[in-house]
């Protein structure tokens, strides 16, 4: 657990829309002790808060991917949100009353400006990893464009370079639900709350997909009304209403709409090209709100980007739910990053890795069993066996996991694995690996115990 902290910035804060907030407050959490090299900055999504150990508990905590014992983890609540930073319910110093409907238009760039103020306040000069999903990814991307030298690693999950017309339309439909609430123009904290419930229920349709509902809300055989899916939608509206407000929902949906990294920068491609950080992009194939094409677009135009596409029953919300998959994907990428190739190698290796081997390599980590993938259709095992396949590495991985006990693997294995992207050859007789730079490494021979 970590306490909510507050940073008060007592100066004019000029928003992109031209409005000046006379002061702002940023609510934030930190975990761990800072050093020059251990800062991880997490950006939260639409209804998240500044405590990632709360909403991303599968990834943030002791011994987890973002290990609070090793890293200094920072997360700030975004301007306009309901969780402590300046928002529509804050008192407007000019009037002595809450802003309510007068709260101005906020953009991702405004949020990033506030994050950067907090960074300076905390004395952070270098951020090892900047990570965010959805609206969090939009912030992370914008920040990495503005300050390409500040970050070592950038992880963008289920996000995009600019909000699509489809996404804007979803948000507008949700705002229409809020507007239809007769209380919406009233100046009180719970104005528009019923409308927000309908908005959340609508949003759920974009965070999930038909398969999610088939699986989690199956139709009752004999029912002719009051289906499971109905009470689920109602419940989700109520659940958000218990922790959020319509003003914050309205503000942040507009933040999302205005997101376009290409604005006043000659377009998105040119903006993405300004990212100089090693970047991992994770897309969810079943995401209907931030479709996979949007992450492919990011990967195409961010110079040092890797794209991993994952499958999740949960669609867009997969980034909040698929902890194991996220952990494995990010760990794999981080390991490989420790051995960045020289530029001329990069061309050759990346081509091969991207198209063929890389997928296998990722799967290796995911299933913790394949020593390396020599060709797209041949998997070499640590015990010297070999499996031929039609490049269906996932199936092989599953089969292997059922067959072998991988517990006794060498502690040096991660190092070896990280090098596999440079492997040029493997001699099965001697267990020797030949690297692109001429080095060799002999794998320990451990006949793995068969389960
Ligand atoms: C821990 C926190 O509250 S974090 C607070 C900050 N929130 C955030 O950061 C936002 C990010 N989080 C989210 O958006 C969500 O929490 C997610 C996506 C991670 C998970 O969504 P959830 O709503 O928890 O999961 P899911 O869609 O499976 O719904 C489960 C809930 O619906 C209820 N439910 C499921 N089916 C039905 C149904 N047919 N009728 C009524 N209720 C139903 C379940 O009982 C469960 O209730 P509970 O949350 O009170 O335990
Ligand atoms: N479930 C997420 C959706 C937006 O990414 C949230 O409520 O923040």
- pLDDT tens by residue, 256-308: 999 999 999 999 999 999 999 999 999 999 999 999 999 999 999 999 898 99
| Gap from CA of 194 to ligand 1 centroid (Å) | 18
Q: Which ligand is nearest to the CA of 313?
A: 1
Phi, psi angles (nearest 5°) of residue 316: -55, -40
Comparing 402 with 377, the larger pLDDT belongs to 402
134 is catalytic: yes
Q: Is 44 in the active site?
A: no
Q: With b meaning 16 or more CB within 10 Å and e meaning fewer, what string describes 118-152? A: bbeebebeebbbbbbbbbbbbbbbbbbbebeebbe
CB 104 within 8 A of CB 57: no
Summarize pLDDT for 92-115 with one digit per residue, the tens. Answer: 999 999 999 999 999 999 999 999
**Residues in a beta bridge with 39:** 72
Mean pLDDT of the chain: 82
Residue 98 backbone phi and psi in degrees, to 5: -60, 150
**Rounded to the nearest whole angstrom, what is the distance from the C-alpha of residue 44 to the centroid of ligand 2?**
9
For 296-344, what is each residue's pLDDT tens digit? 999 999 998 989 999 899 999 999 999 999 998 898 888 766 644 433 2
**N-terminal to C-terminal alpha carbon distance within the chain:** 40
Query: Which range, of 135-139, 238-242, 370-374, 386-390, averages the lowest pLDDT?
Result: 370-374
Q: What is the pLDDT at residue 333?
A: 82
Residue extent(s) of CATH 3.40.50.1820 domains in the chain: 5-165+258-337
pLDDT category of residue 386 using cuts at 50, 70 and 90: very low
- What gap in Å lies between CA 384 and CA 207, rounded to an integer? 44
pLDDT of 399 > 50? The answer is: no
Domain with CATH 1.10.1740.110 in the chain: 170-256
Residue 435: pLDDT band (50, 70, 90) is: low
pLDDT tens for 150-172 read 999 999 999 999 999 999 999 99
Q: Crossing angle for the helix pair 193-207 and 246-258, nearest 10 degrees?
A: 40
For the cut 70, the answer to whether the pLDDT of residue 58 exceeds it is: yes
**How many whole angstroms separate alpha carbon 58 and alpha carbon 43?**
16
**Mean local confidence (pLDDT), 217-237:** 96
We find that the CATH architecture of domain 5-165+258-337 is 3-Layer(aba) Sandwich (3.40)
Cα(159) to ligand 2 centroid in Å equals 12
Cα gap 49→40, rounded to integer Å: 16
Dihedral, CA atoms, 200, 205, 208, 213, nearest 10 degrees? 110
Contact criterion met (CB below 8 Å) for 68 and 59: no
Q: Which atom of ligand 2 is nearest to the CA of 46?
A: 8
Distance separating alpha carbons of residues 23 and 92, to the nearest angstrom: 9
The ligand 1 atom nearest the CA atom of 228: 39
Distance CA 80, CA 386 (A): 56
Q: How far apart are CA 265 and CA 247, in angstroms?
A: 30
Instruction: Please name the residue whose Cα sits nearest to atom 4 of ligand 2.
Output: 46
Classified by CATH at the fold level, domain 170-256 comes out as: Rna Polymerase Sigma Factor; Chain: A (1.10.1740)
- Render 313-326 in DSSP notation, one character per residue: TTGGGHHHH-HHHH
Higher-pLDDT residue of 22 and 442 is: 22
Q: Are 263 and 163 in contact (CB under 8 A)?
A: no
C-alpha span between 362 and 376 (Å, rounded): 13
């Amino acid at each position: 657990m970590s306490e909510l902290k507050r940073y008060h910035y007592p100066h004019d804060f000029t928003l992109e829309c031209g409005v000046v907030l006379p002061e702002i407050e940023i609510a934030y959490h930190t975990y761990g002790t800072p050093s020059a090299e251990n800062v991880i900055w997490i950006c939260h999504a639409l209804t998240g808060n500044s405590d990632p150990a709360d909403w991303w508990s599968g990834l943030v905590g002791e011994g987890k991917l973002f290990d609070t014992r090793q890293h200094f983890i920072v997360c700030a609540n975004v301007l306009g949100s309901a969780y402590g930073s300046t928002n529509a319910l804050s008192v407007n110093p000019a009037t002595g009353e809450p802003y309510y409907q007068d709260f101005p238009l906020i953009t991702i760039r405004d949020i990033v400006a506030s994050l950067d103020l907090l960074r300076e306040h905390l004395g952070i000069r270098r951020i090892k990893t900047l990570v965010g999903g959805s609206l969090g990814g939009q912030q992370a991307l914008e920040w990495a464009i503005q300050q390409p030298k500040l970050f070592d690693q950038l992880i963008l999950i289920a996000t995009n370079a600019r909000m699509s017309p489809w996404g804007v339309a979803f948000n507008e439909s949700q705002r229409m639900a809020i507007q239809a609430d007769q209380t919406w123009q009233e100046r009180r904290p719970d104005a528009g709350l019923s409308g927000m419930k309908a908005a959340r229920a609508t949003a759920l349709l974009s965070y999930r997909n038909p398969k999610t509902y088939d699986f989690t809300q199956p139709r009752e055989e004999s029912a002719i009304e009051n289906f499971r899916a109905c009470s689920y939608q109602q419940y989700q509206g109520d659940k958000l209403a218990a922790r959020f407000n319509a003003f914050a929902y309205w503000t942040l949906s507009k933040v999302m709409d205005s997101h376009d990294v290409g604005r006043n920068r000659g377009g998105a491609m040119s903006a993405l090209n300004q990212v100089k950080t090693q970047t991992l992009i994770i897309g969810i194939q079943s995401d209907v709100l931030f479709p996979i094409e949007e992450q492919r677009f990011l990967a195409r135009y961010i110079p040092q980007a890797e794209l991993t596409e994952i499958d999740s029953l949960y669609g867009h919300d997969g980034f909040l739910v698929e902890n194991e998959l996220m952990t494995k994907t990010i760990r794999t990428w981080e390991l490989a990053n420790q051995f960045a190739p020289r530029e001329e190698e990069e061309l050759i290796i990346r081509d091969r890795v991207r198209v063929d081997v890389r997928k296998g390599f990722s799967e290796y980590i995911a299933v913790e069993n394949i020593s390396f993938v020599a060709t797209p259709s041949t998997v070499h095992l640590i015990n010297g066996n070999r499996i031929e396949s039609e490049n269906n590495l996932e199936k092989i991985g599953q089969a292997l996991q059922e067959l072998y006990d991988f517990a006794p693997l060498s502690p040096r294995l991660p190092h070896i694995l990280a090098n596999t992207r440079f492997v040029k050859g493997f001699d099965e007789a001697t267990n020797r690996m030949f690297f692109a730079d001429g080095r060799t490494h002999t794998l320990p021979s451990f006949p793995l115990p068969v389960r």
